[in-house]
Amino acid sequence: MTESTKIPLSVAIIAKDEADNLPDCLKSISFAEQIVVVDSGSTDNTTEIAAAAGCEVFVEPWRGFGPQKQLAIDKCRNVWVLVLDADERIPDETASVIRNIVRENDMSISGYSFPRKNFFQGRWIRHMGWWPDRVVRLFRKRNGRMSLSRVHESVIVDGRVESLHVPIEHYTESRLSPILNKIDKYSTLGAIESSEAGKRSSIPSAVMRAFLAFIQNYFLRRGFMDGRQGLALAVLDSVNKFFKYAKLSELGAMKSDDKGMKK
């Protein structure tokens, strides 16, 4: 086989309004035999881009990150599945390793994890836990599944998972307005999950958590070594923590009001 030959690998991607990111993502995985794109209602030409690239495109209502990715996995046909986000890329060195894994098909291994390189505002981030940001993404379909988390979902693998040293590249959103919108969405989902788990918070607690998050990321995890980008990320994570726990406090207050009204 030549390096241009497609291999029996399925790639599962969820997307919404990813027309800017998707072409480079799909180009980096052109060696895969099947690419499944599950769209949740894009208003741009995401689905057209995916279809033109030969992907199998499905439009499905939004179920949450974990369930939506599991839906994409369920539509995969091959033994090996790679889960990828639209803003991620598989560099050539990683593609070569994945080719070998799928071809050799070592039955003793159920999945593989990768270090993830995160690119933010023109710089690869090396601190604050952003490198190596290790993630499990390649696995045997019969042995792997997504967690059902609304946010911060992950691949769960039954069996042996090997650590690889070749990276996945992540070109994370760098524009502040979309980031703030994302923080609003993710903090709401995180607050709901915490509330359902029986956790409670308060505004003073939210402020303290935000402050400690900044200290941990910028100083203890050496975010200052990533320049202005490190400072921006430390502040953004602090803001995310504040809103998550402030919203959790709000949910707790609403539950208390509901109980009071029922008495």
List the domain boundaries for the chain: 7-171, 176-257
CA 75, CA 63: separation in Å to the nearest integer?
16
Q: What is the pLDDT of residues 232-242, one digit of tens each?
A: 999 999 999 99
**pLDDT in the model for residue 259:** 60
**Domain 7-171 bears CATH identifier 3.90.550.10:** yes
**Block residue for tokens 């959103």:** 173
**pLDDT in the model for residue 2:** 46
SS3 149: coil
Contact 83, 154 (CB under 8 A): no
Number of helices and strands (H, E) in the chain?
7, 13
CA 202, CA 200: separation in Å to the nearest integer?
7
**Block residue for tokens 């604050």:** 128
Digits of tens for pLDDT over the chain (263 positions)?
Answer: 344 589 999 999 999 999 999 999 999 999 999 999 999 999 999 999 999 999 999 999 999 999 999 999 999 999 999 999 999 999 999 999 999 999 999 999 999 999 999 999 999 999 999 999 999 999 999 999 999 888 889 999 999 999 999 999 999 999 999 999 999 999 999 999 999 999 999 999 999 999 999 999 999 999 999 999 999 999 999 999 999 999 999 999 887 666 655 55
**pLDDT in the model for residue 258:** 61
Cβ neighbours of residue 20 closer than 8 Å, sequence gap 6 or more: none
Helix (H) or strand (E) run with residue 60 in it? none
Q: What is the pLDDT of residues 168-219, one digit of tens each?
A: 999 999 999 999 999 999 999 999 999 999 999 999 999 999 999 999 999 9
**pLDDT in the model for residue 3:** 46
Q: What is the pTM of this model?
A: 0.93
Nearest to 38 by CA among 79, 86, 6, 78: 86
Contact 36, 59 (CB under 8 A): no
| Burial bucket for residue 1 (CB in 10 Å: 0-12, 13-18, 19+) | exposed
